[in-house]
């Protein structure tokens, strides 16, 4: 996330239960373990965050 330090004003980790893992950028869901039915693969989430930040 170092490459996006100037773009990110706040990073929040919200605990939940049931194995939920979701990543949102400005209220836009960019990854959902629940929707895909699988864990994120290594290196999968950061490009999704980058794309969302690029808008």
Taking only the tens place, the pLDDT of each residue in 9-36 is 888 888 888 888 999 999 999 999 999 9
Residue 29 — φ and ψ, nearest 5°? Answer: -70, 120
Is the pLDDT confidence value at 39 over 90?
Answer: yes
pTM given for the model: 0.81
Q: How far apart are CA 41 and CA 16, in angstroms?
A: 20
3 or 48, higher pLDDT = 48
Residue 17: domain span: 2-54
Asked whether 42 and 16 are in contact (CB, 8 A), the reply is no
Q: How many domains does the chain have?
A: 1
pLDDT band (50, 70, 90) for residue 1: low
């Amino acid at each position: 996330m170092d490459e996006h330090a100037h773009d990110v004003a706040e990073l929040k980790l919200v605990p939940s239960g049931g194995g939920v893992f979701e990543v949102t950028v400005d209220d836009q869901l960019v990854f959902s373990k629940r929707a895909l039915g699988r864990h994120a693969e290594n290196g999968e989430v950061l490009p999704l965050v980058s794309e969302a930040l690029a808008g």
